[in-house]
Structure 1
Amino acid sequence: MQSELIEVRTGGREVVVDLTEECAGFVARAAGSGDGLLHVFVPHATAGVAILETGAGSDDDLLALLEKLVPRDFGWRHRHGTPGHGRDHVMPALIPPYASIPVIGGRLALGTWQSICLVDTNVDNPERQVRLSWLAG
Structure 2
Amino acid sequence: MADNFHSIVFEITTGSDEAAVDITERCAAFLVGAAAGRSGLLNVFVPHATAGVAVIETGAGSDRDLLATLRELLPADDRWRHRHGSPGHGRDHVLPGLVAPHATLPVINGQLALGIWQSVVLVDTNGDNPRRSVRLSFLG
Q: TM over 0.5, yes or no?
A: yes
- SS across alignment from 1:113: coil
Shift of 1:74: 5.0
Return the alpha-carbon distance in structure 2 between the equivalents of residues 58 and 71 of structure 1: 19
Q: Share of identical aligned residues, percent?
A: 63
5+ long unaligned stretches in structure 1: none
RMSD of aligned Cα (Å): 0.6
What is the correspondence of 1:62-101 to structure 2 with a 5 Å cutoff? 62-101=66-105
Return the alpha-carbon distance in structure 2 between the equivalents of residues 74 and 12 of structure 1: 19
Quick one: which of 123, 129, 135 aligns to 1:125? 129
1:76-105 C-alpha deviation (Å, 9 max, x unpaired): 110000000000000100000000010001
- SS across alignment from 2:93: helix
The aligned residue for residue 107 of structure 2 is 103
Return the alpha-carbon distance in structure 2 between the equivalents of residues 40 and 74 of structure 1: 32
One-letter code of the match for 2:6? Q
The aligned residue for residue 114 of structure 1 is 118
The aligned residue for residue 3 of structure 1 is 7
Return the alpha-carbon distance in structure 1 between the equivalents of residues 124 and 50 of structure 2: 7
TM-score by length of 1: 0.98
- Number of residue pairs the alignment of both structures matches: 136
Return the alpha-carbon distance in structure 2 between the equivalents of residues 8 and 98 of structure 1: 16
One-letter code of the match for 1:115? S
TM-score by length of 2: 0.96
Quick one: which of 13, 18, 23 aligns to 1:14? 18
Return the alpha-carbon distance in structure 2 between the equivalents of residues 92 and 74 of structure 1: 19
One-letter code of the match for 1:3? S
Return the alpha-carbon distance in structure 1 between the equivalents of residues 124 and 132 of structure 2: 9
Return the alpha-carbon distance in structure 1 between the equivalents of residues 74 and 36 of structure 2: 41
Return the alpha-carbon distance in structure 2 between the equivalents of residues 99 and 43 of structure 1: 12
Shift of 1:28: 1.0
